[in-house]
Amino acid sequence: MLRRILALIVKELAGLWKDGKTRFVILVPPLVQVAIFAYAASYDVTHVRLGVWNDDAGAQSAELVRRFTASPAFDAVASFGSPAAARDALDAKRVAVVLHLPQDFSADLLAGRTAQAQLLLDARRSNSALLAQGYAATIVGSFAQDLHPGRNPPLVLLTRDWFNPTLESTWFILPGLVCVLSLIMSLLISALSLARERELGTFEQLLVTPLRPAEILVGKALPGIIVGLINANIVLLAALLWFRLPFRGDLLLLEAMLLLYTLSGVGIGLALSSFARTQQQAMLGVFVVASPMIVLSGYAAPIENMPHLAELASRADPVRYMLVIARGLFLQDMPAGVVLAQAWPMVLIAAVALAVAGIAVRRALS
């Protein structure tokens, strides 16, 4: 029995490896995606294009503008003399933020009154606007504090960012990419494999051999798992060696979890495949399934922000659990108990998906 399964696995892997284009597609896209997405997928806000609309000629306003310009968060790219000019620039996206200081800004400060300042933000990108507000508030706050060097503020909030003290976006995105890229690969390979045999007529050839349905399933599942794991490890290596991510957890534990995870991905792929008559249908199925799986996992946006129904749906998504594990093991040495609490839903998903695929393979015989 082992020999039969092994034969199937060797055949599948050889089939993937033999074709130059397929080989290319397995190895190169993950690396390209790591390179591009690790740099692209950042909610960081730097170099926000700032327009200055300063109606005040005093020294204080000049100092505040200087502080904005000096901050890495803002690049002053324009200055305006009229509201119309500021509005046009915002409309046309030439600037994302306009700092407006009214005529009497310096005078108010010198007189001990509260000076008014206005920040006009292009909130088409709400997240960036929110973060720009935060940076502006910090700059203005320290400016105000420095106006009265002797006076203590009533409250100081000391913030410590655990696990990612410099708030690096790549630290967040790369563990996610480990999960997402290996998912896409294991889904595709397994979804296309059964459909391909069916379309090319080799499936019947397999069915008349002594291979049992369960053996066919195992033989079809393992190559997807192997390639998925290879992909995950390519990203893992890139993260550690190129992007210098810390790895604080147990590497062996991560690999074990990745195995479970790719198993559930392959299970879903095979289940899709068992319903597809052609490779094309299988591919469409992968498209339709993969996108929600990635979105609902919390890869791009936190699950807490989702509506209740979406949150419920995400519970059937293995990526959700693997993401918590990967991020936890990379950055915070998540204890094994916490990891295992995330692991059992993946086992459940894999079991259900493989059972569905198994029933479908069996049904092919009648």
Partner 1 sequence: MSEPGAAPFAPVSMTPSAAPAVAPVVAIETLRYVFPGTPPRVALDGVSAAIQPGAITGLVGPDGAGKTTLLRLMAGLLRPAGGRVVVLGHDMATDAAAAHPAIGYMPQRFGLYEDLSVAENLDLFADLHAMAPALRAERVARLLRFTGLAPFTARLAGQLSGGMKQKLGLACALLSRPRLLLLDEPSVGVDPASRRELWAIVTAMLEEGRADGMAVVWATAYLDEAARCASVLLLHEGRLLAQGPPAVFLAPLGGRVFRLDVAAQGRRAVARQAASHPAVLDAQVAGDALRIVLREGAVMPDASALGGIALRPVAPRFEDGFVALLAPPAGAAPPPQHTAPVAAKGRDGSTDAITVADLVRRFGTFTAVDHVSFTVRRGEIFGLLGPNGAGKSTIFRMLCGLLRPSGGQARVAGADLMRAPADARARIGYMAQRFSLYAELSVRENLRFFARVYGLGRAAQGRAIEAALADFELVDTASSVAGTLPLGLKQRLALAAALLHGPDILFLDEPTSGVDPLTRREFWTRIGALADAGVTILVTSHFMDEAEYCDRLGIVSQGRLAAVDTPAALRARVRSAELPEPTLEDAFIALVQPP
Partner 2 sequence: MNATLLRMRGLVRKEIKQILRDPSAILIAFLLPVVLLVVNGFGISLDAREMKLAVVIEAPEETARGMLQALDASPYLSVQRALSRHDGEAAMVRGDVRGMLVLGEDFSQRASRPASWPAKAQLLVNATDPNTARILEGYVGGALQVWLAGVTTERRLTSAGGVALQYRDWFNAELRSADFIVPGIIAMVMTMTGTLLTALIVAREWERGTMESMLASPARMAELIAAKLGCYFALGMASMAGSVLLAIALFGLPYRGGVLPLAAAAALFLVFALGLGLFISTLARNQFVASQLAFLTTMMPAMMLSGMLFDITAMPHWLQLVTYAVPARYLVAILQTLFLAGDVWAVVLPNLAGLAVAAVLAVGATLAVTRRRLD
Instruction: Decide: is 163 part of the binding site for partner 2 (CB under 8 A).
Output: yes
Distances (CA, A) of 351 to 99, 205, 289, 347: 57, 27, 18, 6
Q: Of 214 and 295, which has the nearer Cβ to partner 2? A: 295
Binding partner 2 (rule: CB under 8 A), the pick from 3, 84, 151, 365 is: 151
Per-residue contact flags (x/-) with partner 1 for residues 245 to 284, judged by CB under 8 A = ----------------------------------------
Q: Of 87 and 362, which has the nearer Cβ to partner 1? A: 362
Binding partner 1 (rule: CB under 8 A), the pick from 67, 87, 125, 212 is: 212
Report yes or no: 49 and 77 within 8 Å, Cβ to Cβ: yes
Distance from C-alpha of 62 to C-alpha of 54, rounded to nearest angstrom: 9
Report yes or no: 283 and 191 within 8 Å, Cβ to Cβ: yes
- The phi, psi pair for 5, rounded to 5°, reads -65, -45
**Closest CA relative to residue 97, chosen from 121, 73, 80:** 121
For the beta carbon of residue 133, count every other beta carbon within 10 angstroms: 15
Report yes or no: 14 and 193 within 8 Å, Cβ to Cβ: no
* Contacts of partner 2 in 115-144 (CB under 8 A): 115-131, 133-134, 136-137, 140, 143-144
Nearest distance in Å: CB 271, partner 2 = 17
- Give me the residue label for tokens 């397995």: 26
Report yes or no: 181 and 265 within 8 Å, Cβ to Cβ: no
Q: How many residues bind partner 1 (CB under 8 A)?
A: 25
* Contacts of partner 2 in 275-334 (CB under 8 A): 279-281, 283-284, 286-288, 291-292, 295-296, 300-302, 304-307, 309-310, 314, 324, 327-328, 331-332, 334
CB-hemisphere CA count at 13 Å for 57? 0
Which helix (H) or strand (E) segment is 113 a member of?
Answer: none
One-letter amino acid for residue 186 of the chain: S
Per-residue contact flags (x/-) with partner 1 for residues 15 to 34, judged by CB under 8 A = x--xx---------------
In the list partner 2, partner 1, none, the entry touching 201 (Cβ below 5 to 8 angstroms by class) is partner 1
Helices 318-331 and 251-275 sit at what angle, rounded to 10 degrees?
160
Q: Of 14 and 348, which has the nearer Cβ to partner 1? A: 14
In the list partner 2, partner 1, none, the entry touching 61 (Cβ below 5 to 8 angstroms by class) is none
Binding partner 1 (rule: CB under 8 A), the pick from 46, 138, 145, 205 is: 205
Nearest distance in Å: CB 206, partner 1 = 8
